[in-house]
Structures are given as structure tokens and as C-alpha cells.
Amino acid sequence: MIRTKRAYDKPLSDDGFRILVDRLWPRGLSKEAAKIDIWMKEIAPSTELRKWFGHDPERWEEFVQRYFLELDASQEAVSKLIKHIKSENEVTFVHAASDMLHNNAVALRQYLELRNH
């Protein structure tokens, strides 16, 4: 099972293996407080795509399409992520976005679900 959670929310034991899926470290958050098991910058959207999206819900569908294309082109990073997921019972994709529905962690989970991983 893959959950998504804000980096600023308190880490809980049932989060399982916590993977930060943002390219940038969450502002103002210490590494100790974040309790991140692995930071996978390479799985995050490109800087250009992230800036274009700007967490605008009206751009969500196009963001997802563009991000999926980036992920398709980054199969080494996707394979690495899948290995981590398969080796853990519980996985949480950690992100800094305040919008819980329109963020790269949600899109990444969708990408993996659509590809049956």
C-alpha cells in the first residue's frame, strides 16, 4: 500500500518506509523531524514542469500527462522506486505541497497503479 503525506505532518509508525518524492527539501524542516528513509529527487517532476504547474488545479490533468512522460523517460529511477516499494510492507510518499489532491506524490502513486506496480 502506498500512502501520500505532507512532510510537515507528524511522522507516524504506520507510515512505514518514508520516501521524499520532491526535488527540493521541504523548507524549514529538519532531517531529524522529517524522518525520511530515502530522498528520491530523481523521481520528482523536472524543475521546469514543477514551476509550470505551480500547484494550479486547472493545470492538473496536463501536469499529470507531462509528468507521466517524464517518468516514462526515467525508467531507471522508476525501477529503483519499485524495488523499495516491493521490499516494504507500507510505503508513504512524502511531499511538501499543501494541496493534498493535486501534487506529484498523488500523480506518482497514480502512475504506478496504472502500470500495476
Model confidence, pTM: 0.95
Contact (CB, 8 A) for 88 and 16: yes
- Name the pLDDT band for 92 (thresholds 50, 70, 90): very high
Mean pLDDT of 91-110: 97
Return the higher-pLDDT residue of 89 and 82. 82
Averaged pLDDT score across all residues of the chain: 96
In 3D, which of 4, 51, 42 has the Cα closest to residue 23?
42
Reply yes or no on whether the pLDDT at 117 is more than 80: no
With a pLDDT cut of 90, the percent of the chain lying above it is 96
Q: Are strands 38-39 and 2-6 parallel, antiparallel or unpaired?
A: unpaired
- Name the pLDDT band for 1 (thresholds 50, 70, 90): confident
pLDDT digits (tens, 9 = 90+) for 39-86: 999 999 999 999 999 999 999 999 999 999 999 999 999 999 999 999
With a pLDDT cut of 70, the percent of the chain lying above it is 99
For 52, what's the count of Cα atoms within 13 Å in the CB-facing half-sphere? 13
